[in-house]
């Protein structure tokens, strides 16, 4: 692993991403006087003021990501968000002011979205959001676009990420050995639909959000909006509730009942929770790009240690 990024390095990366978004937006004909950074972590989100457009620029990426795979992922996100919007589902759709496609600029891949006012009058209700996730699943069932099976599990990245962690002091040897042993069992189920179906017969697969929709519902001044479909995929609905716990699972089941959908399956939840924990460990292999990740991920690793190994 290379030297960890310093705060100055991260600030420079954010500035470069912002500059790329402003330049790309101007080339698309948008009126832009400045780029205002609204959020930064794995991506930088920039308001291209005064245009009512927000640019999202992924900046912390796995080593397995290529410009081509990133653009493909972003195009799928744009397509599904537009389709949901067209069906009347409350989502943040792509910006109608530019072409619905990712734009490559200065080494960054950029997508464009409408600037949306946020309701800051109350704290997010993630339990309620878990119930609303069932509404999204019902809406997604008829999505006609082609989606890969559990691509958001990122099996190649997880396998190689665990290998890259060997010998580094950010993960203990004991944790890494356990993670590798569990991944030997989990990877075939996460990467091969036929193997998944053999292990979990009768579990239906459908388009799913892929990246914890309860945490990605935007509280707009006009109501909650589903957002951030970067990891859109096809799989069991349990994937979207992974790692959230019984209170959130019960809330989802209430929403599922209201929508005529099935309850969450306990064994599939155990499967997706195990994958989620191993992915957390694997993502420490890119902590050189975002050092704060080490501390941020620790509670998830501590929780994983208290569970029985997946077999």
Are 283 and 293 in contact, with CB atoms under 8 Å apart?
yes
The CATH architecture that domain 1-115 belongs to is 2-Layer Sandwich (3.30)
pTM: 0.95
| pLDDT tens string 247-280 | 999 999 999 999 999 999 999 999 999 999 999 9
Average confidence score pLDDT of the chain = 96
pLDDT, mean of residues 128-155: 97
Residue 218: closest CA among 310, 288, 149, 126:
126
Greatest distance between any 2 Cα atoms in the chain = 56
Q: Which CATH superfamily is domain 116-311 in?
A: Aminoglycoside phosphotransferase (APH), C-terminal lobe (3.90.1200.10)
Q: Which two tokens stand for residue 212?
A: 């914890």
pLDDT, mean of residues 293-309: 91
The phi and psi torsions of 47 (rounded to 5 degrees) equal: -85, 120
Confidence (pLDDT) at 167: 80
Residue matched to tokens 């780029």: 35
Confidence (pLDDT) at 2: 61
Whether omega before 50 lies within 30 degrees of 0, making that bond cis, reads: yes
Going from N- to C-terminal start, the domains of the chain cover: 1-115, 116-311
pLDDT, mean of residues 195-202: 98
| pLDDT above 90: percentage of residues in the chain | 94
Q: Return all residues near 70 (Cβ < 8 A) that are at least 6 apart.
A: 58, 61, 102, 109
Return the DSSP state at 64.
T
pLDDT, mean of residues 21-35: 98
Confidence (pLDDT) at 12: 98
Return the DSSP state at 311.
-
What is the DSSP code string of 166-224? Answer: TT-TTS-HHHHHHHHHHHHHHHHHHH-HHHHHHHSTT---EEE-SS-GGGSEEEETTEE
Confidence (pLDDT) at 1: 54
End-to-end CA distance of the chain: 30
Q: Where are the beta strands (DSSP E) in the chain?
A: 32-40, 43-50, 53-58, 103-105, 108-114, 206-208, 217-220, 223-226, 233-235
d(CA 267, CA 272): 9
pLDDT band at 192 (very low <50, low <70, confident <90, very high): very high
Res. 193: pLDDT tops 60: yes
């Amino acid at each position: 692993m290379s030297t960890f990024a310093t705060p100055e390095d991260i600030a420079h990366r954010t500035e470069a991403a912002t500059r790329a978004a402003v330049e790309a937006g101007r080339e698309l004909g948008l009126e832009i006087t400045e780029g205002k950074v609204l959020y930064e972590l794995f991506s930088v989100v920039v308001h291209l003021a005064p245009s009512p457009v927000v640019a999202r620029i992924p900046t912390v990426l796995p080593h397995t990501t290529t410009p081509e795979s990133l653009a493909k992922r972003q195009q799928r996100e744009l397509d599904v968000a537009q389709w949901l919007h067209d069906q009347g589902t409350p989502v943040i759709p792509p910006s109608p002011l530019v072409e619905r496609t990712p734009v490559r600029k200065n080494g960054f891949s950029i997508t464009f979205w409408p600037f949306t006012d946020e309701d800051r009058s109350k704290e997010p209700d993630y339990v309620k959001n878990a119930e609303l996730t069932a509404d999204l699943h019902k809406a997604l069932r008829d999505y006609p676009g082609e989606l890969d099976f559990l691509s958001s599990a990122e099996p190649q990245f997880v396998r190689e990420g665990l290998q890259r962690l060997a010998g580094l002091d950010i993960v203990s040897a004991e944790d890494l050995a356990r993670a590798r042993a569990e991944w030997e069992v989990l990877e075939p189920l996460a990467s091969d639909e036929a193997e998944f179906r053999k292990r979990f017969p009768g579990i239906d697969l459908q388009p799913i959000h892929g990246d914890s929709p309860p945490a990605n519902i935007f509280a707009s001044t006009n109501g909650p909006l589903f957002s951030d479909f970067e990891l859109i995929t096809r799989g069991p609905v349990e994937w979207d509730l992974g790692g959230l716990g019984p209170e959130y699972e019960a809330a989802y089941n209430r929403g599922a009942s209201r929508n005529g959908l099935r309850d969450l399956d306990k064994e599939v939840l155990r499967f997706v929770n195990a994958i989620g924990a191993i992915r957390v460990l694997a993502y420490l292999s890119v902590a050189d790009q975002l050092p704060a990740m080490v501390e941020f991920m620790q509670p998830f690793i501590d929780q994983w240690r208290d569970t029985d190994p997946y077999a």
